[in-house]
Amino acid sequence: MKKLALTGLLAGALLAGCNQQKPTNEAASTETSLSEVKDLPTLFNAYWEENAKLFPLEATAQGDNRYNDQLPNDGTKEFRGKLQAFYQKYLDGLHQFNREELSANDRISYDIFQYDLENKLEGLQHNTWMMPFQQFWGLPITLGQFGSGEGVQPFKTAKDYDNWLGRVRGFSVWADTAISNFRQGMKAGVVLPHALVVKMIPQLRAMETSDPTKSLFYGPISKLPQDISAADKQRITAAYREAIQQELVPTYKKLGDFLEKEYLPKSRPSTGIAAIPGGPALYKYWVKTWTTTDKTPEEIYQTGQREVARIRGEMEKVKAQVGFTGDLKAFFASLKTDPKLMPYKTPEDVLGAFRAIQAKMQPNLKTMFGRTPKTPFEIRQTEAFRAASASAEYNPGSPDGSRPGIFYIPIVDATKFNVTSGMESLFLHEAIPGHHYQTSLQQENTDLPKFRRFAWYGAMGEGWALYTESLGKELGLYQDPYQYMGALGDEMHRAVRLVVDVGMHTKNMTREQAIQYMLANEAISEEGATAEIERYMAIPGQALSYKIGALKIRELRQKYEQQLGAHSNKLREKYAGQNRSHFRLSDFHDELLKDGVMPLAVLERKMDAWAANQK
């Protein structure tokens, strides 16, 4: 997945009013008048400027460093009121323009902008502010990523170091509001499941340390730039030690104590979001938000069951190919325990294997993409403090290329890292040509208004990344049957999600039943299945976006192949010189990516227009 702790900032833009994780600027105002706005670019620029003030962490993630010292409180009723006025003002401003009189690209912008604002306004009507963070997304996790010195927060100058201290000072205020909101949720019955709260407490406790030099937040001090003066180094070091001891550690302890002593006993035994007041309506909203479709939960559930059956058939073929004589469940068990499938000894061995995958498929990319990103790319191990509960993920680079796109891999125990975990398909999805190509090309396209350059729609973004997994054989991968089995396992994983996510949140499927369903259909450890299922409990509907989006992109590719003619070399030779149209995969991919992510209905309209022009 595209990095949801940081791209929780970007993906969380879909749920801005739902308080998922984006600290915001309490002092921000929505005073900009739109009465004098005469064109769409001016409207979009005004929106972007106000949005950056409201969401300064998001601005930092996008390379806008004007608000790097701000960590305001986004948990108040007052702030939600500001959001309501902000979104409504710009929606009204948009409606001053006649869509039919706009250019094709401006119509796309109009449709995306309208969809986004309407969706955010709807999100503000739900009560998720009573659950301000959980084990997967939330400011207590994001703060660690920003403040470690390894994330998007710059630590290059003395001013950068001082900026971070400004953010630290806002954390204790945010935490007090979060506790207050949790307590209101306890009174209203809007609480997190017990199983999730149990996982949150150790994350907070891990930040408590009596020695500030052992804190994650001491990381920037360990790499103070040489050109900072000795006096500033001494001052900054003392200030960071004090901030860790006097502000950060006490705040994490306060949050941990509250969850352990007060909240955990009131947490709910139920699994699905339907158990809380307003839960069924909230789930429908999340399904619509994450899939950007009007598909019902039941439609998605049925699609999931069909896909699970289809992929099981492919797995049976691989099982026969390698000569395994037992049933599929026994095959899964053998894959998890076969020593030859776990050849690594150190984290660096695992990272090296991923780098080898990149080198292997690199030559074939030219046949599939005419445009490639300028943004640098790196492979890194996930930070230790969150590795146990993290998934592999992609952290976007900065638009100017000063920060690379990073593929993070959690490696808790390298000796248990399994080849059939889908290493090749994982690289395609999280790195190249998945999230790195899509996100970087979008951010680098300065012709797009900023609200599109930095947008995130999981259905298209995650759908694209999952679709790229299906390109493995065309890119020279999946030649080893065990790697292909890993790819099938990844595809099965996304199909299973459609069943268990909808099952838990609408059909009373329990956490334990969902874990067993996952274990029965893919080669995953019980520990891994548990972490996945608890993720779907924490962020209902998000896991649906992958498969729904990938199926739509594959559907579009097949539609245009049929409309424009097969793209085999023989057919191209046959009609050479006859000025006949044909489907070119690189053109399809370039067109799909060039305008950034958007709701699936908007994407299909855009691609239909492209296909018509090809004819």
Return the amino acid letter for 569.
N
Does a structural domain hold residue 283?
Answer: no
Which domain-ending residue is among 490, 512, 546?
A: 546
pLDDT at 29 over 70: no
Cα 583 to chain center, whole Å?
31
Considering the domain architecture, whether residues 443 and 519 belong to the same structural domain is answered as yes
* Look-up of token digits 């990149």: 358
Considering the domain architecture, whether residues 255 and 132 belong to the same structural domain is answered as yes
pLDDT at 480 over 50: yes
Considering the domain architecture, whether residues 298 and 163 belong to the same structural domain is answered as no
Nearest CA among 547, 380, 567 for reference residue 459: 547
pTM score above 0.85: yes
pLDDT at 109 over 60: yes
Does a structural domain hold residue 73?
Answer: yes
Considering the domain architecture, whether residues 414 and 439 belong to the same structural domain is answered as yes
Considering the domain architecture, whether residues 497 and 602 belong to the same structural domain is answered as no
Which domain-ending residue is among 499, 525, 546?
A: 546
pLDDT at 12 over 90: no
User: Distance between CA atoms of 509 and 76, rounded to whole angstroms?
Assistant: 34
Reported residue count of the chain is 615
Helix, strand, coil shares, percent, the chain, to 5: 65, 5, 30
Does a structural domain hold residue 1?
Answer: no
User: Is 127 within 8 Å of 188 (Cβ atoms)?
Assistant: yes
Considering the domain architecture, whether residues 131 and 19 belong to the same structural domain is answered as yes
What's the confidence (pLDDT) of residue 164?
97
Nearest CA among 126, 108, 131, 147 for reference residue 455: 108
pLDDT, tens digit, for every residue of 407-441?
999 999 999 999 888 899 999 999 999 999 999 99
Does a structural domain hold residue 281?
Answer: no
pLDDT at 8 over 80: no
Cα 447 to chain center, whole Å?
24
Nearest CA among 450, 362, 434 for reference residue 399: 450
Does a structural domain hold residue 279?
Answer: no
| Residues linked to residue 378 through DSSP beta bridges, in sequence order | 406
User: Distance between CA atoms of 320 and 317, rounded to whole angstroms?
Assistant: 5
Considering the domain architecture, whether residues 302 and 200 belong to the same structural domain is answered as no
Considering the domain architecture, whether residues 40 and 100 belong to the same structural domain is answered as yes
The confidence band for 74, taking pLDDT boundaries of 50, 70 and 90, is very high
Q: What phi-psi label fits residue 451: left (phi over 0), alpha (psi between -120 and 50 degrees) or beta?
A: alpha
What's the confidence (pLDDT) of residue 388?
77
pLDDT at 465 over 50: yes
At 33 the three-state DSSP class reads: coil
Give the count of domains, the chain.
3
Considering the domain architecture, whether residues 463 and 504 belong to the same structural domain is answered as yes
What is the number of other CB atoms lying within 10 angstroms of the CB of residue 485? 27
User: Is 264 within 8 Å of 194 (Cβ atoms)?
Assistant: yes
* 265 contacts: CB under 8 Å, gap ≥ 6: none
Does a structural domain hold residue 575?
Answer: yes
Return the amino acid letter for 255.
L
At 408 the three-state DSSP class reads: strand
Considering the domain architecture, whether residues 256 and 147 belong to the same structural domain is answered as yes
User: What percent of the chain is modeled with pLDDT above 90?
Assistant: 82
What's the confidence (pLDDT) of residue 11?
35
Q: How far is CA 289 from CA 250, 285, 297, 453, in A?
A: 36, 6, 12, 19
What's the confidence (pLDDT) of residue 63?
85
pLDDT, tens digit, for every residue of 319-328?
999 999 999 9
What's the confidence (pLDDT) of residue 9?
34
Q: What are 501's two structure tokens?
A: 């996510």
pLDDT at 19 over 70: no
User: Distance between CA atoms of 598 and 112, rounded to whole angstroms?
Assistant: 6
pLDDT at 291 over 70: yes
For the four alpha carbons of 525, 414, 9 and 176, in that order, the dihedral sign comes to: positive
CA angle 248, 153, 147 (to 5 degrees): 20
Considering the domain architecture, whether residues 204 and 294 belong to the same structural domain is answered as no
Which domain-ending residue is among 202, 235, 267?
A: 267
Considering the domain architecture, whether residues 252 and 306 belong to the same structural domain is answered as no
Cα 607 to chain center, whole Å?
24
| Segment among 247-256, 445-454, 463-472, 536-545 with least mean pLDDT | 445-454
Q: How far is CA 166 from CA 27, 160, 163, 239, 242, in A?
A: 15, 10, 5, 11, 13
What's the confidence (pLDDT) of residue 2?
64
User: Is 79 within 8 Å of 73 (Cβ atoms)?
Assistant: yes
What is the extent of the structural domain holding 565? 549-614
pLDDT, tens digit, for every residue of 497-516?
999 999 999 999 999 999 99
Does a structural domain hold residue 277?
Answer: no
Does a structural domain hold residue 282?
Answer: no
pLDDT at 571 over 50: no
User: Distance between CA atoms of 576 and 570, rounded to whole angstroms?
Assistant: 10
Radius of gyration of the chain from its Cα atoms, rounded to whole angstroms = 24
pLDDT at 612 over 50: yes
